[in-house]
Structure 1
Amino acid sequence: MSKKKFKKGIESIGHQINIHKNIKLKKAIEEGNVELAGYYEKEIKRLEEQLIEKQEKLLPRSKRIKLKTKLK
């Protein structure tokens, strides 16, 4: 994928994270729906992981290699 598409994807995922945190999670907590709040927390974590993966793909090759070696 091109860098432009990755940037748009990153913006979209960031927007989804904000919606889940600011609207959906707050509403579930206010209503006292613990199961739904737990689901949104898991969804937020999944989206954050996806965001990190996409941000890594935008990095130059040399920085991606450095990240991979640090993780091992």
Structure 2
Amino acid sequence: MTHLVHQRAINALLTDAVETADRAKSRVTHTANTLARQMQEMHGGIWRVEIDHQAGFVLVAPRIETAIKPS
């Protein structure tokens, strides 16, 4: 019985940890997309977002084909 109680507690902690990580990833994505929209408003073109959570990397940059303005 004690083993079952411990297993349920561990499962609850793991579930909470996954939900917390999912919420954090969602906030990062939302923030990066918001920044891309703001850069588009300021500078024009279409901006892209790339996120690599394992590398701890976020890129917000103009798409090459939209960044080059004809003379």
TM > 0.5: no
TM-score interval for Structure 1 and Structure 2 normalised by the shorter chain: 0.3 to 0.5
Q: Which has the higher contact order (CA 8 A, sep 6+)?
A: 1
The TM-score normalised by the length of structure 1 is 0.43
The structure richer in strand per residue is 2
The TM-score normalised by the length of structure 2 is 0.43
The structure richer in helix per residue is 1
